[in-house]
Chain A
Amino acid sequence: MKLHEIVETLALTVRAGRRSLDTEVTGGYAADLLSCAMAGAEPGNLWLTLQGHLNVVAVATLNELAGVIVTEGKPVSPDALAKADEEGLPILTTTLGTFEVAGRLWALLGATR
């Protein structure tokens, strides 16, 4: 499933990396620990986290993730947004919690597999 379809279905707010929304999403990964995301998330995954700082962008781009969803309405720092735009990494936000986003994402991606 394409990232922009997920953005529309889950009504996510696109905060950065708008030009890369046509990426195929291969799965999801949820964790707030960067080392876990580094080791556990696969290229093309969407990463669900509460973290909204610059280092999230570094981990996501090194790992070639499809994008980052910052949940629970947690803030994303302006330098993270600027870097994400530069790298073409979509940063999406929502007021929904990680549990709910993960559940809905699971249902969406499960249906296309």
Chain B
Amino acid sequence: MSPTEVLKAQELVYELRIGDIMSRRLVTVTADTTMREVKTILRDRRISGLPVLDGGNLAGIVSIEDLIRSLEENDLDALAGQYMTTLVHTIGEREPAVRALNVFGRLGVGRLPVVDDEGRLVGIMTPDDITRGVLRALEKAYHEEEIRRYRARHVFDDIKSDRTSLILRYDIPLRDFNRAGRASSQIKQTLNRLGVDPRIVRRVAIASYEAEMNIVIHSVAGGNLVAEINPELIALLAYDTGPGIPDIEKAMTPGYSTAPDWIREMGFGAGMGLCNIKACVDQMDLNSWPRQGTRLEAVIYLKPTEGKASDEAA
């Protein structure tokens, strides 16, 4: 499993409910079942423990260990009620799988009866059920993401034109710090699905985030971020309608910023944005007109032989 799949498996342990992965094929006995019958059931069903019911309520569990004790005592005619383990830990069907994992780890028991909200026995689970449940869910999630990625990767194959490209357009509202970063994170997600080299994705993510934040912070009425993707390159275009940058050379100086104090307090306005973009892209073109707006174009090549192939951000 790759690290991301391992992480996914860990997430699933929190997301999967006990009720989804437990065994519902419930075999039970009553307190007056003999240990001889218990032996037959365990053997025939190839299971290692049985819930013991008393008047419909869970009274205990009789397991192979209990059976061995009765065999050692040569006491197979005794009743399950005598040999069963009482004080049984139960788990709710709506609890996450990770709860069962913790209980198994802490108590060292091999199985847990599962109860519904009213405390009625509805199933039983063993550590194997968790493994099986996670693997099943992982397989399903893996297939879904694989299909998405497969479709995305082949999107350029079936479309015939002299130059095909995919264009993502985002409206960037002014000073909306709650949605800031949304465009860049969606561009990043798309590039990952398209199967772009992760180092290139990272460079695009940094450049598009800085361009997006410049519009959020500095524009007069918001602006737009456009990412054009084709098999050769990714072109970013960020533009707004003002106020314009009075001195581009100054704006490109590391540490120079015109952001107001309240924005600096949030950690923006480090004066590094344009420098970060320049360091991440292969070509950058910045034009600005006072009171009319700013237009930033940047290109990142997908093939390492073109462009300067720097995967390090400054």
The yes or no answer to A59 lying at the interface (CB within 8 A) is: yes
Chain A residues close to B by CB (< 8 Å)? 18-20, 22-24, 32-36, 38-40, 43, 49, 51, 53-56, 58-59, 61-64, 79, 88
**A19 x B10 contact (CB < 8 A):** yes
CB-CB contacts of B197-219 with A at 8 A, as 1s and 0s?
Answer: 00000100110011001000000
Q: Report the bound CA distance from A64 to B279 in whole Å.
A: 19
In the A-B complex, the 10 residue pairs with the closest CB atoms: A58-B181, A33-B270, A35-B272, A35-B270, A39-B313, A34-B267, A51-B267, A39-B276, A62-B205, A19-B14
With a cutoff of 8 Å between Cβ atoms, the chain B residues found around residue A59 in the complex are 181, 209
Number of A-B contacts (CB under 8 A): 82
Q: Determine whether the beta carbon of A35 is less than 8 Å from that of B276.
A: yes
Binding site for A on B (CB under 8 A): 3, 6-7, 10-11, 14, 177-178, 180-181, 184-185, 188, 202, 205-206, 209-210, 213, 266-268, 270-273, 276, 279, 313-314
A20 engages B177 (CB within 8 Å):
no
Shortest Cβ distance from B264 into A: residue: A33
User: Mostly helix, strand, loop or mixed at chain B's interface?
Assistant: helix
List of A residues within 8 angstroms of B266 by Cβ: 34, 51, 53, 55
Main secondary structure of the interface of A (DSSP, over half): helix
CA–CA, A24 and B11, complex, Å: 16
Do A34 and B268 have beta carbons less than 8 Å apart? yes
Which of A35, A54, A61 interacts with B273 by CB under 8 Å?
A35
A98, chain B: closest CB distance, angstroms: 13
Known: A51-B266, A53-B177. 8 other contacts (CB 8 A): A34-B266, A38-B210, A43-B202, A54-B180, A56-B267, A58-B180, A61-B185, A63-B205
Which of B181, B202, B267, B276 has the largest count of A CB atoms less than 10 A from its CB?
B267
Q: Which residues of the partner chain B approach A43 to less than 8 Å between Cβ atoms?
A: 202
Let me know if A39 and B314 touch, CB within 8 A: yes
Least CB distance, B39 to chain A, in whole angstroms: 42
**Among B177, B180, B271, B276, contact of A38 (Cβ-Cβ < 8 Å):** B276
A34 CA / B177 CA spacing, docked (Å):
13
A54–B178 alpha-carbon span in the complex (Å): 7
Taking a contact as CB atoms under 8 Å apart, the answer to whether B206 and A88 are in contact is no
5 intermolecular pairs with C-beta atoms under 8 Å apart? A35-B210, A35-B276, A39-B313, A53-B177, A62-B209
